[in-house]
Amino acid sequence: MVERSYEKFFRRNRLPHLWCPGCGNGIVMKAIVQAIEKNPNYTQDNTVIVSGIGCSSRASGYMDFDTLHTAHGRAIPFATGVKLARPELNVIVITGDGDCTAIGGNHFIHGCRRNVDLTVILFNNNIYGMTGGQASPMTPLGKKATTAPYGSVDRPFDACKLAEAAGATYVARSTAFHVQHLVKTIEDGLKNRGFSFIEALVQCPTAYGRRNKMGEPAKMMAWMRDNAVMKTAWDKLSDDKKTGDKFPIGLFYQAAATDYDTAYQQVINAAGGGIK
Amino acid sequence: MSARLMQGNEAIAEGALAAGVRFFGGYPITPSTEIAESLAKLLPKVGGTFIQMEDEIASMGVVLGASLAGKKVLTASSGPGISLKQELIGYASAAEIPAVIVNVQRVGPSTGQPTAPSQGDVMQARWGTHGDHSIIVLSPWSVREAFDVTVKAVNYAERFRTPVILLTDEIVGHLRENVELPAEVEVYPRRTPKTSRAEGYEPYTPDDDLVPNVANFGEGYHIHVTGLIHDETGFPSGSPKVTREAIKRMNDKIARAEDIIEVHQEFMDDAEFAIVSFGGTARTAYEAVLNVRKRGFKVGFVRLVTIFPFADKVIRKLAGKVKGLVVAELNFGQLVNEVERAVAGQCPVKLCAKYDMTIFEPEEIEQSIDELIAEVNGNG
């Protein structure tokens, strides 16, 4: 019998979800609640899930917490407001590659810079799924999209490098294939007091895989299995081996730094305002 | 409290604090910056939070998040920044989140004349964000009233769970007056759920006044908030009926609240003509009224404190009593269209417009009223 205790974290009456058959979003959504379940400091009453707009951002509606489905790209500012208004709440942001790195790119880097105590989980499907397959800032070079019919010539972001450079204090990547690793990665992100960023690669068979001849969903996941390289192994690879589709997963960066709320509490103390 | 010399923008910050605002998110922009600067200093003294965001979109988002978590919130900007905020002002309208947005108007469009006064954002305040949203727009004419109207704006935001635009201008924002502020003000508390989750609480079920008692985050209600059209549960709905009813209720909750319509009238008992104005321009209009009355003309003074919902009934009624109206506004002509709509042909309406960076001189408004009187009474 499979343990399904995590199901209490879902709004059963809001399921089934609207994602396509074979989509990886459900795997990441489940990994999030499994990570929450392992952390006694995160309860359904003291945790707020904030999302933007896009396929992945619909996850908030299925999760039984206080949930906030914001406007396109704006999840991080809203989440910052929730967190700073009530620092005792845990705030998790669910976003996508378009939501987070295109329209929300400015908010993303500034959230990292401030080190607000948020855990941001980017579901990277390499495409705008909800609107039917347009290129995003994380569509790999040469891949096809409805707005890149001859292959994308826009150089993609490495969102993890971006987060690290911008000041996030926990930065990691996993995939919808590496489920146990994904759960552990999110679990560690939840523990970090500061801006935690986790990129979760997900397969989008409908809007991305099909157009790029990547095969059925299982084959897209096998591609993740075959090309993801753990950071520890990746660092030992010579540059000539880091070619083709290979990409690193794992923990890229972790640092101890004062989170924004703690810093602002010092401002309040300096101003003589007592406890917020 | 003893009298203090302060700026309109500072009075807005003081009014916000008095009304219970404990969270401000903003971005620097002339001529509204003093509001952010004042609150950066004042909010932490009372345990509140000030945050300077990366842009005005984020400033709007951060205050909406804080409002949902239970804080009374305010943000402030001017022309270009207010344009950026429009997307999330609509979100606040749709998701029914209390928030006050101060617009210290400067000359536009675009970067315009950043340090010069204007009243060119009247229709943007009403219709700036997309869709059939509702909104409340208030405008003060003095430093003391900037304080009072800010308190009202915060209270209305809470009472109606709506964005409220405090539409001031560079004239009032940078005006310095000696003011005495009240020690206490009447404060509308955050609305709270009347039923428990176990009793089947639905966050968007309207109360008798058509306003829902949406729970704050972190109180165990597990609510869902979205900018998608939603039913009473708060979850999105694709139903035409739900869509129609949601848009209607959102508009009706404000349209039917006539007690929020505030119009300042003087010299109207014997008035044969009247000057309609608002905000900083009303200060000059008042002087113009005094001057023309000294010359023996029975001219009244009408000042809209509540710009939207528009004072249709008040204007319609007074239009039936006077021979003509002058609308004085520091723009190319915006409020005049609302006045004409309400007057509905009962009397002539003449626009006194100015859009050259400078404020009105009383003589300019006097000239308009003189011309109107001559047109109506004949040149005799």
From the list A80, A83, A268, the residue facing B44 with the nearest CB is: A268
Nearest CA in chain B to A261: B49
Query: Which residues numbered 29-48 in A keep a CB inside 8 Å of some CB on B?
Result: 44-46, 48
User: Residues of B with CB below 8 A from A276's CB?
Assistant: 47-49
Tokens for B283, please give them: 């200060």
A70 touches chain B (CB under 8 A): yes
* pLDDT score of A243: 84
C-alpha span between B201 and B70 (Å, rounded): 18
From the list B41, B65, B228, the residue facing A80 with the nearest CB is: B65
Query: Which residues numbered 146-185 in A keep a CB inside 8 Å of some CB on B?
Result: none
Q: Within a domain: residue B254?
A: no
- If asked whether residues B147 and B31 sit together in one domain, one would say yes
Chain A / chain B CB contacts < 8 angstroms: 144
B23 touches chain A (CB under 8 A): yes
- The average pLDDT across B204-224 equals 98
> How close does chain B come to A145, measured CA to CA in Å?
27
Please determine, for the modelled complex, whether the ipTM score is greater than 0.95. Answer: yes
Q: Within a domain: residue B299?
A: yes
- If asked whether residues B25 and B166 sit together in one domain, one would say yes
C-alpha span between A77 and A61 (Å, rounded): 19
* pLDDT score of B159: 98
Instruction: Give pLDDT tens digits for B101-133.
Output: 999 999 999 999 999 999 999 999 999 999 999
Give the whole-number percent of chain A exceeding pLDDT 90.
Answer: 95
Q: Within a domain: residue B172?
A: yes
- If asked whether residues B173 and B271 sit together in one domain, one would say no
Q: Are B65 and A68 in contact (CB under 8 A)?
A: yes
Mean pLDDT of chain B: 97
pLDDT bucket at B380, cuts 50 / 70 / 90: very low
B214 touches chain A (CB under 8 A): no
Nearest CA in chain A to B48: A276
B67 vs A268: CB contact, 8 Å cut-off? Answer: no
Instruction: Give pLDDT tens digits for B182-194.
Output: 999 999 999 999 9
User: Residues of A with CB below 8 A from B66's CB?
Assistant: 81-82, 84-85
Substitution target in B17, B50, B57, B217 with the highest count of A β-carbons within 10 Å is B217
Last residue of a domain, one of B179, B203, B235: B179
* pLDDT score of B322: 98
- If asked whether residues B291 and B165 sit together in one domain, one would say no
A228 touches chain B (CB under 8 A): no
- The average pLDDT across A193-205 equals 98
User: What are φ and ψ of residue A251, in 5° steps?
Assistant: -85, 120
- If asked whether residues B127 and B275 sit together in one domain, one would say no
CATH number (domain holding residue B362): 3.40.50.920
Q: Within a domain: residue B228?
A: no
A239 touches chain B (CB under 8 A): no
CATH number (domain holding residue B98): 3.40.50.970
Last residue of a domain, one of B148, B179, B210: B179
Q: Within a domain: residue B188?
A: no
pLDDT bucket at A223, cuts 50 / 70 / 90: very high
Amino acid at A230: M
* pLDDT score of A141: 97
- The average pLDDT across B177-181 equals 97
What is the 3-state secondary structure of B303-354?
Answer: EECEEECCCHHHHHHHHCCCCEEEEEECCCCCHHHHHHHHHCCCCCEEEEEC
Nearest CA in chain A to B46: A273
User: Residues of B with CB below 8 A from A106's CB?
Assistant: 54-55, 58
List the one residue out of B287, B289, B282, B276 whose CA is nearest residue B336: B276
Instruction: Give pLDDT tens digits for B37-69.
Output: 999 999 999 999 999 999 999 999 999 999 999
- If asked whether residues B158 and B281 sit together in one domain, one would say no
- If asked whether residues B174 and B277 sit together in one domain, one would say no
Instruction: Give pLDDT tens digits for A66-107.
Output: 999 999 999 999 999 999 999 999 999 999 999 999 999 999
Query: Which residues numbered 40-69 in B keep a CB inside 8 Å of some CB on A?
Result: 41, 43-49, 51, 53-55, 57-69
Substitution target in B41, B49, B201, B228 with the highest count of A β-carbons within 10 Å is B49
From the list B41, B54, B217, the residue facing A110 with the nearest CB is: B54
User: What are φ and ψ of residue B301, in 5° steps?
Assistant: -120, 125
Nearest CA in chain A to B226: A69
Instruction: Give pLDDT tens digits for B125-169.
Output: 999 999 999 999 999 999 999 999 999 999 999 999 999 999 999
Q: Within a domain: residue B281?
A: yes
From the list A14, A83, A276, the residue facing B47 with the nearest CB is: A276
- Domains along chain A with CATH numbers: 19-231+240-271 (3.40.50.970)
Total count of domains within chain B: 2
C-alpha span between B360 and B282 (Å, rounded): 10
Q: Within a domain: residue B352?
A: yes
User: Residues of B with CB below 8 A from A67's CB?
Assistant: 222-225
B84 touches chain A (CB under 8 A): no
* pLDDT score of B379: 62
Last residue of a domain, one of B179, B195, B213: B179
pTM above 0.90, yes or no: yes
Residue B290: domain span? 264-377
Within 8 A by CB and 6+ apart from B135, the residues are: B89, B93, B125, B126, B162, B163, B164, B165, B254, B308
* pLDDT score of A273: 83
* pLDDT score of A276: 56
Instruction: Give pLDDT tens digits for B295-351.
Output: 999 999 999 999 999 999 999 999 999 999 999 999 999 999 999 999 999 999 999
User: Could you give the 3-state DSSP secondary structure of residue A146?
Assistant: coil
Mean pLDDT of chain A: 97
User: Residues of A with CB below 8 A from B48's CB?
Assistant: 273, 276
A105-114 helix and A75-85 helix, angle to the nearest 10 degrees: 30
Nearest CA in chain A to B228: A69
> How close does chain B come to A105, measured CA to CA in Å?
11
Q: Within a domain: residue B275?
A: yes
Tokens for A140, please give them: 């790999």
Q: Cα dihedral angle (B61, B63, B66, B71), rounded to 10 degrees?
A: -160
> Would you put residue A224 in left (φ > 0), alpha (ψ -120 to 50) or beta?
alpha
Helices (H), chain A: 25-37, 75-85, 97-98, 105-114, 159-166, 179-191, 217-227, 231-236, 260-271
